[in-house]
Amino acid sequence: MTRLMGFRWPSRFPQTWWSRPTGGSSGLINFQGPAPATDGENPTLSPPTSFRWPSPTDYVAITEWYVPQQSDSVPVVHYLYPELAGNAGAFGVTVPAMGDLASRFGPYPFPEEKYGQALFPLGGAMEHQTCTSMGGWAAYGGWEWIIVHELGHQWRGDMVTCASFHDVWLNEGFATYGEALGQEVEGGVGAYHAAMAGNAYWGGGTVYVENPEADDIFDYGLSYQKGAHVLHMLRHVVGDSPCFRRPEGIRRAVCLLVGPHRRSSGGR
């Protein structure tokens, strides 16, 4: 997820908000449950209610193809508003980035379906499995790093995800780290280190979210930037072995790093 909106996502009740779609017909997606009442920076819980979300249905679908080395081609579909149908070039980084990330994370996880990106009428982006929602500004160019970030979530966040929002850095840290890995493939180790330096975080705090109901689980400095640097450090520890590319290898590497701490702090 990449958040560019002027208000905070309702992180106090993420599961409730995301998990109750009750229908998507007639161009509307209906939700029931606590709606996000936002007043600037302070989202608050509101009584149970429902709200509707417009879902444009008149997309123009433009398809490219990602051709892996050892499997069938995968369609890469850009769902654009009709008036922006000529702007598919703004997503041109997608196909090469699929190859770049596959070289680091392993094969694209959903080759029998597709990878899609659909414009939606909000800022930011959301990494839905096989079809990411992209804010409309993406069609005007300059969103390459966001495109790569959301694509990275297909491996870490969609194929494999954290068990709870306490460890959401595993999703966001990996996606942010994927941005640097893409730079490495395209531009070499210097570009990789430059990307990591560009995502430096100098503040305090831990990537572990103590209270997902009250804390900002999408704190950019902690869940994204510091999370990416934890993986940067892990890569230094475990090296570039295939271990680093497989989910079970990552799990072992994370346990290697934080296991003793977890045991000494009560199994957090």
Interface positions with Zn ion (CB under 5 A): 1, 172, 175
Contact 123, 143 (CB under 8 A): no
Report d(CA 117, CA 150) in Å as an integer.
9
Comparing CB distances to Zn ion, the nearer of 34 and 135 is 135
CB of 174 to Zn ion, least distance (A): 9
What are the DSSP calls for 68-101, one per residue?
Answer: -SSS--EEEEEEE-GGGGGGGGGGTTHHHHHHHH
Report d(CA 89, CA 86) in Å as an integer.
8
Comparing CB distances to Zn ion, the nearer of 4 and 37 is 4
CB of 187 to Zn ion, least distance (A): 22
Burial group, residue 128, by CB count within 10 angstroms (0-12, 13-18, 19+)? middle
CB of 112 to Zn ion, least distance (A): 24
DSSP H or E run through 173: helix 169-187
Single-letter residue type at 258: V
Both tokens assigned to 117? 């990106």
Comparing CB distances to Zn ion, the nearer of 139 and 175 is 175
Comparing CB distances to Zn ion, the nearer of 158 and 172 is 172
Comparing CB distances to Zn ion, the nearer of 4 and 237 is 4
88: nearest Cα among 111, 64, 66? 64
DSSP H or E run through 200: none
CB of 23 to Zn ion, least distance (A): 27
Comparing CB distances to Zn ion, the nearer of 32 and 161 is 161
Comparing CB distances to Zn ion, the nearer of 34 and 155 is 155
Place of tokens 């041109």: 92
Backbone angles phi, psi at 252, to 5 degrees: -65, -40
Tell me how crowded residue 29 is: count the other CB atoms within 10 A of its CB.
15
Report d(CA 9, CA 6) in Å as an integer.
9
CB of 167 to Zn ion, least distance (A): 14
CB of 149 to Zn ion, least distance (A): 6
CB of 71 to Zn ion, least distance (A): 26
Return the SS3 of 206: coil
